[in-house]
Structure 1
Amino acid sequence: MRRFFLSAFLVLLPVVATAENMPAPQTPAAQNAVRAPKLVEPHLHVSRSGNVVRPRVALTFDACMGQADERILSTLVRERIPATIFVTARWLRKNPQSVAIFLNNLDLFELENHGQNHVPAVDVPVVIYGIAAAGSPEAVRQEVSGGADAMRAAGLAAPRWFRGSTAKYDPSAIRQIREMGYRVAGYSLNGDGGSLLGAGVTEQRITAAKDGDVVLAHINQPTHAAGEGVARALLALKRRGVEFVRLSDVDGMGDDDTTQ
């Protein structure tokens, strides 16, 4: 009799163990939760000059919102340093005088698309650096097309490059933006840490740019110390003999399918 009960117990053990290891049923809230997207922050380089004494660097500046940083803008104009400026519709509306400067110096400045409202080009609901993303393919499309419409309305040429707020994307949004006819502008050197770094650190970072680097900095924070560092770095790079190029001037290669 004891052997019978022991055998029956051993037979039931796998059934009990399997039941204990079964996942708990999902609640409706868990079933409807949005899975966190895979976010990428693409790199971009321009073709190298191959000249040790004259390295090639592309300066790119984001004009997100707020006012123009005259410390940077005046240095670019005075020193005749070419740069690519990514503008939002919000910034264009508030800075007509700076837009006029760009239009009067088209040999220096290439204006490109930074979006309509400065929201990250991610097509699922997520918050990045405290900024709510577009959240849907339709909203990503509006962010991109709205920025381009505002540029044309301001008298600027139709953009060919797009850089979203925070410079982060999910792969499906990158595909969508590429299908709209844009190349997505990453970068290789973060010059000012979102304009939050001090002047000295910013100057040191940008001055260290190497052949083929695409520098990202901001031209819309005139009260931040970083702008002073940017202006000083521009002069230091010029003294080094750097060849400054805009993104449209040379070939650019980005990862995450952003340029090809």
Structure 2
Amino acid sequence: MHRSLASLAFTLALAAPVAAGPRLVEPELTVARSHGGPPRVALTFDACMGKVDRRILDVLLRENIPATIFVTARWLKHNPQATAILLAHPDQFEIENHGAMHVPPVDYPTAVYGITAAGSPEAVAREVEGGGAAIVAAGAPPPHWFRGATAKYTASSIAAISGLGYRIAGYSLNGDDGSLLGARAAERRIGAARDGDVVIAHINQPTHAAGEGVARGILALKARGVRFVRLSDADAVAPQPAL
């Protein structure tokens, strides 16, 4: 083969898409509705890496609003002061598992939103177990909920994570689009939460505009008379829909 044609063939081979693996799923989760009482909403926050957004944390503290915080081992390591605050309020905050290194818990080689996935069942288990061990080492109770980076899984990785003793923390309302929304958009989205919603947002991006809107949206929900619940609140969690 002519050298230039050989080079072209090699380039095209590299550019060819990798064969698709199993379908990725993104479980939804809601909490039990109020049945005529105040609307019930669960606020859940991911602390992937980076710092802590005090705009959000301070509102939660000042207004005594319960929330579920999903932390990675990476975040815990670099935020001892914020971790101490969460630990000092065990009746308000529950600390749950977001993994060791913020690796998508997908058990075949791929990338999700540009993030390289775990790539094998063994690597998924390391990500889950490493996150849980870091939480216990920080002084918190053993976690019972897991939310992976990107919140996407395969059916087989969900089964494996469940086998490790975790429930998968889906959501029904994306409050900040990975902390990429503008402040107004995040405020409107969270402020519009309905009875039974599980809201996902991020509490680790203090320089992003979204955090300001998240804080304002939380206050708007409180002004509406919403009752905030944590995922661990006994009968609050509705069955997850079938995958």
Task: For residue 254 of structure 1, report the CA deviation from its aligned partner.
Answer: 1.7
Matched, 1:187 2:165: no
Q: Which letter does structure 2 place at the counterpart of 1:51?
A: G
* 1:15-46 per-position Cα deviation (integer Å, ceiling 9, x unaligned): xxxxxxxxxxxxxx9xxx65422000110001
Q: Which letter does structure 2 place at the counterpart of 1:93?
A: K
Task: For residue 251 of structure 1, report the CA deviation from its aligned partner.
Answer: 2.5
State the distance in 2 between where 1:38 and 1:176 align: 16
Matched, 1:37 2:22: yes
Task: For residue 242 of structure 1, report the CA deviation from its aligned partner.
Answer: 0.2
Q: Which letter does structure 2 place at the counterpart of 1:138?
A: E
* 1:37-96 per-position Cα deviation (integer Å, ceiling 9, x unaligned): 2000110001001226x1000000000000000000011001000000000000000100
Q: Which letter does structure 1 place at the counterpart of 2:26?
A: E
State the distance in 1 between where 2:213 and 2:206 align: 12
Task: For residue 253 of structure 1, report the CA deviation from its aligned partner.
Answer: 2.3
Equivalent residue number for residue 241 of structure 1: 225
Matched, 1:114 2:103: no
Equivalent residue number for residue 112 of structure 2: 128
Q: Which letter does structure 1 place at the counterpart of 2:36?
A: N
Equivalent residue number for residue 105 of structure 1: 89
Please, what TM-score do these two structures have when normalized by structure 1?
Answer: 0.84
What secondary structure, in the 3-state scheme, does the structure 2 residue paired with 1:46 have?
coil
What secondary structure, in the 3-state scheme, does the structure 1 residue paired with 2:239 have?
strand
Total equivalences in the alignment: 225
Give 5+ residue unaligned stretches, structure 2.
1-13
Equivalent residue number for residue 255 of structure 1: 241
Please, what TM-score do these two structures have when normalized by structure 2?
Answer: 0.90
Give 5+ residue unaligned stretches, structure 1.
1-28
Q: Which letter does structure 1 place at the counterpart of 2:163?
A: E
Matched, 1:69 2:53: yes
Q: Which letter does structure 2 place at the counterpart of 1:254?
A: Q
State the distance in 2 between where 1:162 and 1:255 align: 17
Equivalent residue number for residue 188 of structure 2: 204
Task: For residue 255 of structure 1, report the CA deviation from its aligned partner.
Answer: 2.3
The sequence identity of aligned pairs, in percent, is 65
Q: 1:47 aligns with which of 8, 15, 32?
A: 32
Matched, 1:229 2:210: no
